Amino acid sequence: MNMTRRHFLVLLPAAALAWENILAGAPETATNYHTSEHWWGMLVDIEKCIGCGSCVRACQKENNVPDGYYRTWIERYRIKEVNGVETLEVDSPDGGMNGFPSSNEPGVKEFFVPKMCNHCADSPCTQVCPVGATFVTPDGVVLVDEKYCLGCRYCIQACPYGCRFLHPQKNVAQKCTLCYHRITQGLTTACCENCPTGARQLADLKNPKDPIHEFLRTHSVQVLKPHLATGAKLFYNGLDGAVR
Amino acid sequence: MKLKDAAHLFRLAGVFAAGILIFILVRSYLVPKSFGQYGHFRGDALTEIKAQPISYAGHQACEACHSDVLDLKSKGKHAQVNCEACHGPLAKHADDPGGVTPEKLDTAKLCVRCHEANSAKPKKFPQVASMEHSGGLACNECHTPHSPAIVTEGGKK
């Protein structure tokens, strides 16, 4: 190839740009998933939950959650009157993983409440992280960068819903990822996939075709601890006032 | 004012400039390239979290091959129940249908996970006290799990 000095000088800036791209690494493999087009949340229909524990088992298997720790769990609320005073009992044996023994006690109001990370839009846990290891993604999922996490536990204390734990071996904070590896591939979360009654439904609030919009319009839906203004995106239908 | 009197200011400015330069160099070395790509976090963390392998293939993957089960299921009460809710995580089977085969299920244990009577379950949900109902007999002796209603001569029971 015949390269004059003039040509070489003209090509230099182009080569510099190309080198910059090589340094930046390979461009992200083209997928149909764009973070800016989604805003994830979840809908939980308490009236449909049978407390079978399928979601808890599915989450443990999908995400290799260590034994005794739960990224999602089911609570059973039992509200009864004792000497004219309303008393509340909440239990969750093994996170509700293996179901619940029937109490068969007459005159008690009983129901199941599945719980998990609320993927808050203004989450208290990300605000307290001193190293930027936990964050809200542009598609509205609260995640933890395990390489950055120091294991200081600030976020675990800050979460008003008790959704985080310290991984006993890795010593980093862990939590529900809303199955980020699944939803970015067009699948639903492991818990929603395995809920036999459809009590849990993944919702994309930015997708106008998502049935969540019609559901929110026609039902009385609540979030947990709305007074904390966390921007929780775990919507409960049929939530009793006693649930906290 | 003579320039000579201000020399100490130039030295100070030099120290500042050197300090800032060192700060910029050290910072560019320590902060990962992808930090700030999407926000105040490492952008590559998203790629790492996305790379986690899946265990549950999803019902669309099952239905691609098992359309006969889908037809049977879609007519019955279990139409909304996804395959892996009972059959377990089978992404490996979906990847290699010949090599990995699903386990046979014990319906005597499986069905009661959902259908065992419990006072906290919604009243509309079909539930039985399994010992009284069948005495420990496997449920698929009478019911077809994919379409569980028992059809008798007098109609559906």
Q: Which residue has the tokens 């230099």?
A: A12
Above 50 in pLDDT, residue B5? yes
Above 80 in pLDDT, residue A203? yes
Q: Which alpha helices (H) appear in A32-93, and where do they start and end? A: 54-63
Above 60 in pLDDT, residue A98? yes
Confidence of residue B135 (pLDDT cuts 50, 70, 90): confident
d(CA B84, CA A194): 6
Lowest-confidence segment of A36-50, A100-114, B10-24 by average pLDDT: A100-114
Q: How high is the pLDDT of residue A26?
A: 46
Q: Give the pLDDT mean for B133-139.
A: 89
d(CA A244, CA A224): 6
Mean pLDDT of chain B, nearest integer? 90
Report CB contact under 8 Å: A58, B89: yes
Above 60 in pLDDT, residue B7? yes
d(CA A200, CA A45): 6
β-strands A72-82, A142-144: how paired? Answer: unpaired
Mean pLDDT of chain A, nearest integer? 90
d(CA A32, CA B17): 47
- The 3-state DSSP class for residue B35 equals strand
Above 90 in pLDDT, residue A8? no
| Domain map (residue ranges) of chain A | 35-237
Question: ipTM of this predicted complex?
Answer: 0.84
* Higher local confidence (pLDDT), B100 or B22: B22
B90 contacts in chain A (CB < 8 Å)? none
B77 contacts in chain A (CB < 8 Å)? none
Q: How high is the pLDDT of residue B136?
A: 82
- What is the per-residue pLDDT across A21-63, written as a single tens digit (0 to 9) for each? 555 554 444 468 899 999 999 999 999 999 999 999 999 999 9
Furthest CA-CA distance within chain A: 100
Lowest-confidence segment of A8-17, A189-198, B42-51 by average pLDDT: A8-17
Contact B80, B107 (CB under 8 A): no
Beta-bridged to residue A73, according to DSSP, are A115
- Portion of chain B with pLDDT greater than 70, in percent: 96
Confidence of residue A11 (pLDDT cuts 50, 70, 90): confident
Strands (E), A36-94: 40-45, 72-82, 85-91
- The 3-state DSSP class for residue B119 equals coil
* Higher local confidence (pLDDT), B151 or A76: A76
Q: Which helix (H) or strand (E) holds B109?
A: helix B107-110
What does B75-86 look like in DSSP terms, one character per residue? HSTTTTS-HHHH
Contact A172, A144 (CB under 8 A): yes
d(CA B115, CA B117): 6
| Domain map (residue ranges) of chain B | 106-157
d(CA A122, CA B37): 20
Report CB contact under 8 Å: A50, B50: no
Closest residue to B84, CB basis, from A147, A194, A198: A194
Q: Give the pLDDT mean for A179-200.
A: 95
Beta-bridged to residue A125, according to DSSP, are none
Q: How high is the pLDDT of residue A27?
A: 44
Above 90 in pLDDT, residue A16? no
Above 80 in pLDDT, residue A94? yes
C-alpha angle B99/B102/B107, rounded to 5°? Answer: 165
Going A202 to B89 to B114 to A116, the CA torsion angle's sign is negative
Report CB contact under 8 Å: B40, A132: yes
Nearest Cα of chain B lies from the Cα of A97 at a distance, in angstroms, of 10
> A interface mutation test: which of B34, B48, B52, B56 has the most A CBs within 10 A?
B56
Amino acid at A177: T
- What is the per-residue pLDDT across B26-74, written as a single tens digit (0 to 9) for each? 999 999 999 988 888 999 999 999 999 999 999 999 999 999 999 999 9
Q: Which residue has the tokens 């007098």?
A: B154
A170: left (phi over 0), alpha (psi -120 to 50) or beta: alpha
Nearest Cα of chain A lies from the Cα of B152 at a distance, in angstroms, of 26
Task: Scan residues 202-231 of A and list those with Cβ closer than 8 Å to B.
Answer: none
Q: How high is the pLDDT of residue A244?
A: 82
Name the residue of chain A whose CA is nearest to B114's CA: A52
DSSP state of A200: E
Q: Which helix (H) or strand (E) holds B70?
A: helix B67-75
Contact status of A238 with chain B (Cβ, < 8 Å): no
Contact status of A236 with chain B (Cβ, < 8 Å): no
Report CB contact under 8 Å: B89, A52: no
- What is the per-residue pLDDT across A119-157, written as a single tens digit (0 to 9) for each? 999 999 999 999 989 999 999 999 999 999 999 999 999
d(CA A69, CA B137): 34
User: Token pair of B144, please?
Assistant: 């077809």
d(CA A46, CA A142): 23
Q: Which residue has the tokens 């992404």?
A: B91
CATH architecture type of domain A35-237 = 2-Layer Sandwich (3.30)
Closest residue to B84, CB basis, from A25, A104, A193: A193
Q: Which of B127, B156, B143, B96 is nearest to A197 (CA)?
A: B127
Q: How high is the pLDDT of residue A28?
A: 47
A131 contacts in chain B (CB < 8 Å)? none
Q: Which residue has the tokens 């201000």?
A: B6
